[in-house]
Amino acid sequence: MIKNDKPLGSIAPSAPASDEPVGKKKARGRPAAEANRVAESLARSSFDKTAARTRGAHTDPATIGNPPAGQPGLMKDWKKDKVSYQAVEGSLKLGSLTYDDLTQGDSGDCYFLSSAVAIAHDDPDALKKLFTDNADGTTTVHFFEKGRDGAMKPVDITVDHTLPVGKDGLEYAQGRDKTQLWPAILENAYAQWKGGYENIGEGGEPRDALLAMTGKTSTYTDEISKVDPDALWKTMTQATAQKRPMVTGTFDQKDQPVDYQKEDLVEGHDYTLLRAYESDGQRLVDVRNPWGSDQWKGDLHPHDQDGNFTMKYEDYLKRFEDFTVLDQPVASPA
């Protein structure tokens, strides 16, 4: 797992994360509902499990640029013959964009989608600026990547509205309003850049996704239950006040501290941490599942099964394993 080489309490909120990973990398994105599909896919793959879960997370800086327009490869699963690219009616609908628009589809890219939700929550205008509608009906999505010289460089990916469709509509990311296409277009462009849905759909890291969409580094903290809870709380509340996107992940199945299934939490899954705050002297966190459903059963402020929920801070620390936060506000100079 990637850890910082400083205790959390000594990390300045705006300090850039180290470029050098420490320890084993943890890829996120294998929701329980997808476990059998992922297992079957990996069994048929010529890649080993570790490679399959991490490939595409880092791109060689030499590949910076706009790849040829095309249709990213689909997830190689049992439904591969039932999913095809089709022209989809709708538009980006950026004018009405909110963080709660996005819902995850049948791809294990929660790390990317939770990061997109976090940006949309803290700075929706910044997410809107990733998109340019072109006169020919295509959309260009503006990503970022660190070059060999360490400088952030633009990566522009142009896609059309021909998207992966199954029997029930869009197969992967989509909006709650099925004609709102910005979630599907964003994910499709990222898949094209990284070599296909299979590459982005077997897990990854929020800090890579946040960098791709903001051009800024993040700080990752593992085993949050073992760090100073007051220091972590200070980091979270400062990030909330400064509107710095936050993503948090649960334990893998073998390590889960509680029965996630009984509590409607998902193992090995990234969620958006929307905010940390105090109410009536109680420390609370608001969290969102990118599925747009399946919220924690202990929700203190019950919602309409929309994936949003509120936890006491102490309950959060017992159930979540790691935490990623952008080092600067999205709109600040890089």
> Rounded mean pLDDT of 253-279?
94
- Each residue of 221-253: pLDDT tens digit? 999 999 999 999 999 999 999 999 999 999 998
Tell me, yes or no, whether 208 lies in a domain.
no
How many Cα atoms are found within 13 Å in the side-chain-facing hemisphere of 267?
A: 15
Long-range contacts of the stretch 62-65 (C-beta < 8 A, 24+): 62/148, 64/145, 64/147, 64/153, 64/155, 65/155
**106 plus 75 within the same structural domain:** yes
**190 plus 56 within the same structural domain:** yes
**Residue 73 binned pLDDT confidence (cut-offs 50, 70, 90):** confident
One-letter identity of residue 154: P
**231 plus 130 within the same structural domain:** no
Go through 80-110 and write b for each residue having 16 or more CB atoms within 10 A of its CB, e for each that does not. eeebeeeebebebebeebebbbbbbbbbbbb
**265 plus 227 within the same structural domain:** yes
Round the average pLDDT of the chain to a whole number and report it: 81
Residue 333 confidence (pLDDT): 73
Residue 5 confidence (pLDDT): 24
**Residue 308 binned pLDDT confidence (cut-offs 50, 70, 90):** very high
Residue 299 confidence (pLDDT): 85
For the chain, the domain total comes to 2
Residue 321 confidence (pLDDT): 96
Return the structure tokens found at 144. 């970022």
For residue 158, the cross-strand partners are 140
Tell me, yes or no, whether 210 lies in a domain.
no
**274 plus 236 within the same structural domain:** yes
Residue 87 predicted with pLDDT over 80: yes
Quote the radius of gyration of the chain (alpha carbons, Å): 19
How many Cα atoms are found within 13 Å in the side-chain-facing hemisphere of 211?
A: 23
**40 plus 188 within the same structural domain:** yes
> Rounded mean pLDDT of 312-320?
96
Residue 304 confidence (pLDDT): 74
- Each residue of 92-128: pLDDT tens digit? 999 999 999 999 999 999 999 999 999 999 999 999 9
Tell me, yes or no, whether 122 lies in a domain.
yes
Q: Which of 174, 201, 228 marks a domain boundary? A: 201
Residue 170 confidence (pLDDT): 94
Query: Of how many residues is the chain composed?
Result: 334
> Rounded mean pLDDT of 188-204?
93
- Each residue of 150-179: pLDDT tens digit? 899 999 999 999 999 998 899 999 999 999
Tell me, yes or no, whether 2 lies in a domain.
no
Q: Which of 169, 201, 233 marks a domain boundary? A: 201
**194 plus 66 within the same structural domain:** yes
Residue 275 predicted with pLDDT over 80: yes
One-letter identity of residue 140: T
Tell me, yes or no, whether 269 lies in a domain.
yes
pTM of this prediction?
0.81
Say which CATH number the domain at 310 has: 3.90.70.10
Residue 286 predicted with pLDDT over 60: yes
- Identify the domain containing residue 47 by its residue range: 32-201
